[in-house]
A = this chain, B = another copy of it.
């Protein structure tokens, strides 16, 4: 029951035939988001937004444990401010949207909608900072940003997206660097422990780093189809913004000094990561920690005496400790409901019919394994915790298995091309450090350097591209 072909499955494209279409089907059918009349921008529907709220609450609490405080800065940035940091404006100016008219008049200076807020925030930091005693500033904002992408996909690359951007100011380079890495660890924890997706932590190459950063650190993940997804980044700016924006302070020796900065962010793209890392042919598959509904009760033979009542009773009992749904819709069959909730990725389904109730039990069906477990109604409240924990762990392991299976070593370009064409996945290969080799690999294989991973491994003695001696192992992959 619930494992046969049916209307739901027919409506969803096969995951291994057309992953891109499968993804879009999930987003629309599971009612996570929808396309709007504003081209390239989506509406996030209640079920999708509830996932984001769970992520946001978790991330925000982890931030606050490290001393982060929230703030809010203007959505509009005057053109002159955006211009102040050379690399930054080169990177972002081509993809911003400009407000040129407002309140019925043409503006003297046009204003861009923030693509990111380093510039406007730096002008305020310059105003607020006087002495080393004021430092550090460890501020963050949850907000919308806009980047005028040519090709868009819901959650993964939307013109408007919601994110958090942290911006910090420090007395010393060391402290700023430590904060950059601390936040990278927070993101790794979020993606691994909460989203149940294994990560590779590393530093971006010069070519791939953020416009204006000294160093960009990244959290890389691998999706079901073997393509890579960057899920969060953390940047060390050094004094790149503090100098043009005059963020100065009196140091402990009474001398004026430019401050050291960082920024770090993650976005609603994390919802895309969950869909693409965990989903299968039955639809969405949500890790219990993220799921807006952790378990759904589906009464069977609801018209029989006492069934609905007992289901309501169980629902009231369980909702004190779990995020629950009771599906008592009378226009649908149990089979329809089973498929519906599987498609929506609910981790656990609890079936209960007259005979179950007579035997004081229910049937728990796991979304991750389709396993059916008979559980006494006296024990369900405590056992559910173990089952949900086990699902969370198992889902992590399933993605880990896919990531490891698709991670290969390449010692030359031939191996590189063979591996990426067969497997997609992460390619571990040595690199000489020359941007030209990176460029050539991209041209030949459509794979980019994902990062220089924290955990190095000497997979060969020479650069995978030019054959010159190389000491740096880079992870490469085709990306979203």
Contacts and interface: CB of A to CB of B under 8 A. Distances in A.
A317 B340 CA distance: 49
A9 interface: no
Contacts of A99: 97-100, 113
A178 interface: no
A104 B96 CA distance: 8
A50 B70 contact: yes
Nearest to A73: B43
A418 to B, nearest CB: 37
Contact of A113 (B104, B113, B162): B113
B120 A38 contact: yes
A148 B53 contact: no
Contact of A71 (B49, B96, B102): B49
Contacts of A128: 34, 45
Contacts of A110: 101
A33 to B, nearest CB: 9
B120 A76 contact: no
A75 interface: yes
Interface stretch (A16-24, A139-147, A439-447, A460-468): A139-147
A46 B34 contact: no
A436 interface: no
A187 to B, nearest CB: 22
B70 A53 contact: yes
Nearest to A41: B74
Contact of A70 (B49, B101, B121): B49
Nearest to A76: B38
Interface string A139-178: 1000110101010000000001010000000000000000
Contacts of A127: 34
A124 B43 contact: yes
B36 A120 contact: yes
Interface string A42-62: 111110011011000000000
Interface in A198-228: none
Nearest to A107: B97
Contacts of A43: 71-74, 120-121, 124
A36 B144 contact: no
Nearest to A70: B49
Contacts of A50: 69-70
B101 A98 contact: yes
Contacts of A27: none
Nearest to A31: B128
A50 B331 CA distance: 46
Given A43-B72, A50-B70, A38 B100 contact: no
Contact of A37 (B81, B94, B103): B81
A123 B36 contact: yes
Contacts of A34: 124, 127-128
A100 to B, nearest CB: 5
A7 to B, nearest CB: 16
A311 to B, nearest CB: 20
A319 to B, nearest CB: 13
Nearest to A150: B103
Interface centre among A45, A52, A150 (most CB of B within 10 A): A45
A46 B74 contact: no
A74 B123 contact: no
Contacts of A95: 103
B111 A101 contact: no
A74 B42 contact: yes
A143 B49 CA distance: 13
Interface string A355-370: 0000000000000000
A71 B44 contact: yes
A77 interface: yes
The 5 closest A-B pairs by CB, nearest first: A103-B148, A97-B102, A46-B69, A41-B74, A44-B72
16 contacts: A36-B73, A37-B123, A38-B74, A41-B74, A41-B76, A46-B69, A46-B139, A49-B72, A50-B69, A53-B70, A72-B162, A75-B75, A75-B113, A76-B97, A94-B103, A98-B99
Given A72-B162, A94-B104, A97-B101, 11 more contacts: A34-B124, A34-B128, A36-B123, A37-B120, A37-B123, A38-B78, A46-B139, A94-B103, A99-B100, A103-B148, A143-B144
